Structure 1
């Protein structure tokens, strides 16, 4: 019986050591990835670049325009082409 007790004690000690390794990890200061829409609209483009809409307009439309629409893809520069405009386009509401 003493041999059985020693084996049982060793198993319990081993299990206790393994369980202590299961402590919750320390929280990291990790940045949570943002989920951006994939549409070809300024809001989605700003999100993908990690900018606010206002910052994106300043970067993309340096002339101070307040709206833009997708104009295609430039093969030479490998970048999106945005057509900047001063007037807001008519916005539509899509409902179910």
Structure 2
């Protein structure tokens, strides 16, 4: 996921050097890991909506290092991913 999101994140933030790559990759990895370990959602680099979700969340996290309340738009998209996962799981059972 880092290879897909990192260049987009740098472009969005106006970063043209590699000096912040370690921090930006840590944000991306943390989001992907949180989705998998906390919510059971395996984000896929091939799905544009997953890339954009990670991009938007990483942008917000970078711009708000003190953390705080995650924006409603990101919360809404995360809940939609959780619902989609639940729908896929129930479809597999039936």
With normalisation by structure 2, the TM-score equals 0.22
- Structure with the larger helix share: 2
Give the structure with higher Rg (CA). 1
- Structure with the larger strand share: 1
With normalisation by structure 1, the TM-score equals 0.22
Of structures 1 and 2, the one with the larger relative CO (CA 8 A, separation 6+) is 2
